[in-house]
Structure 1
C-alpha cells in the first residue's frame, strides 16, 4: 500500500473517531484562547505606553509654559523652582519603557510579572517597588492566564498521544498484525506512514494557529525572524515527542501498556523533571524576597547620613572628581547648602553596590536552570519561546540596566549643573529632554 493510500485510509479512520476529533478541537480552542491572551496583553501594554507618553509630553509642555510665562513653577507648590537644575531635571518626566514584542502573542513569559514602564528620576532604582517579581508560567496558569506557549508545551504532547496511542497495538490485540506483516514487507514503513499522518495533522493545526496568531499582532511584518524561529522551535518540539511516541508504538503490542508508557513519559518530562529542577533550585538557591537588599541599602544609607559634611564632600568628590574644581565646590557655604541634594550621587552608588549580590544570585539561578536543559526539554523550549517573544529573564535584566543608565545620566547632569551654579532656561530644559532620551 502506497503512502498516499495509507494517508487516505488513516483519514477515514480519523474522521470516524470522535475521541480523536474532540481532542484536536479542544487543542484548537485552548490555542485560540492562549493566542488571544497574548494579543490582548500586547495591545494593553502598547496602549498603556502610548497613554503614558502622551501624558509625559503634556507634563513637559506645562513646564515649558512656565518658562514662557516667566513663572518658576505651579502656584500650589511655591517651593518648586524650574530654573534650578534640581527641579528642572525632576520635571523632565523621564520614562524607561520595555516595549512589548508582537511575538508576545505566542508566549507571554514573564511579561505580567515584571514592570514594563517606569518613571525614572535621580532618586530611582531598578528595584523599586513598582518593578514586580519573577514568577513561572505554570504558576500564572493558576491565576487564570494561559498562553500559546503553554498550550504547545503541555497540551501538544497529549493530543499526539491521543492520536497515536492505538497504532499497531489495536491490530495486535485484534489478531490482525500477522496479516499486516504478510501484506507489507516493510511493516515498519507502514506504521511510520500511519504515524506520520497524525504528525502531519498536528503540525497543520499548529501552523494554522500560528498564522492566525501572527495576524493578531502583525508579528510577520514586524518581527518575522522571531516568528519563524518560534515556529521552528515548535516543530522541533513536536518532532521530539513524535520520536518518543513512535518508539513506544513500534515496540509495544498492547493498547493499555502503550498508553501507560506514553503517559508515564509525558508526566516524567512535563512535570517530574521540571519539578525536580525547581526543587533543586529551591534547595540550592532559596527564594530571595530582597530583604537582604533592603536591609543592606538601609544600613548603608544610614551609615552615609551619619558622616560629617566634610566626609560626605570628600566622598562625593572622589566619586565625581570633576566636581572638585567647580565654582560651588570652592565656596564652602554654597557647597554645604547643596550637599543634601548632591547626596543622590552617593546613595545611587550605595544602591548599585547593594544590588550586585542580588544580580549575581539571579544570574546563578538562571545558569543552574540552563545546566538542566539537556535532560529538561520542557524547560529548554519554554525559555526558547520566551527569548523569541522578548519576555525572558535576560530581556528584563537588560531593561533594568537601561533604567540604571538613565538614573546615572540624570545624576551626572544634575551634579554638574548644581555645582556649576547653572540657572536653567527654556532652551536648557529642552536640551535636558533631548539628552535624557525620555522615550527610550
Structure 2
C-alpha cells in the first residue's frame, strides 16, 4: 500500500488518458459522443462522469477527487468552485425545511452567514454551542436534528472539538456528522478515524497552497457524494478546468508544505509566547493551550494557524498596538485567506466587522487586539526577525 506522499502524486492517474506525464488542462465545456447511444446515455446520467459536460464532471476534477478521498479515507469526493460552494452544497444535500442543525459558536464567517441568513430563510433552525463542551452538543439535540456541523480547529480562535465524541454521538443518535477540516488539512488530521461521516475543505487554502485558485471539496460515502453532485448540478458551482489543474499541482507538494509550515508555526508561537508585548498566544501546539492534550490525541501536526492578542493598558491601546504591528510587518502580508506558501496576517475584528455583531465577536473570542496569523514556508529566522522589527515599532 502506497504512502501518503506517493498517493498525492500518483492517485487517480487513470483519469489522464493521454501520454502526458502532467495531467493536461481539459479546457472544454462538452465532449464528443462516440455514436453509441447507450454509452451517451450512461455518460449523461452517471454521477461525476468525466467526459460528458463540464458541470457534470471533468477528468482533472475526477483525479483531484480521487486524491482527496484517499487522503480523507472516504469512499468518494467532489470538488466545487469555492469553499463556500462545498459547505452550502454539502449541507443542502442533507437538510430540508423543518430540520435542525447543531453548530458551534465559532465558525468561519462565511459559514456563519450561511447559518444565520440563508438557512433561516428556508425554515431550517440552528442551535449554537460551545465546541469545548461535549455535553452542550448532547443537550442541543432535538427530535428534528439532522446534522452536527463542526470545525476544528475553529476559525479564528483555534478551539478544538472532540472528534471522537462527536463521531460517536452522531452514530448513537442517527445524526449525520460533518467537519470543516480546512484549518488542519488531511496531513494533520483525518476526521474519518474518529467516526465523522463527512469532511469538507476550502481547497483554496492548504490543499491548493499557492493563493492562486479558489476551490472546495466534499468527502464522504459514494452514496452521499452522488447526492451532493446532484445538488451541484442545479446550484452550478463547477470547478473550472484551470483551477482544477492548479489544485492538482498544489496537492503534489501538500505533505512537504504542511510539514514545513507546522515547524515554522510552532517556532513562531514559542517566540511570541515569551514576548512581553504579546498578551496571549493561541496555538494548539503550545502546552498552555487549554485543549492541548485533546489536540495531541486527534492531530498529527498543529497547523500553521495561530492567533495573538497584543498587550496594552486598555482595549483601545491593544487595538492601536495591533494595528502598528500589522502595518510594520514586511514578510507577513495583510491579506485575507490562509494556508499558502507565503505568510499572511489579518485583524479579524476588522475583516469580519460587517459579518459579526459585537455579541457574535465576543462569543467567538474575537477581540480588537487580536491578529490571526497564517505561517508560510519562509525561513524561520526571517519570520521571527520580521516580528521582532515590527514589534520594536511600538
Q: Answer yes or no: same fold by TM over 0.5.
A: no
Task: Give the TM-score taking structure 2 as reference length.
Answer: 0.27
More strand by share: 2
TM-score (norm 1): 0.25
Bigger radius of gyration: 1
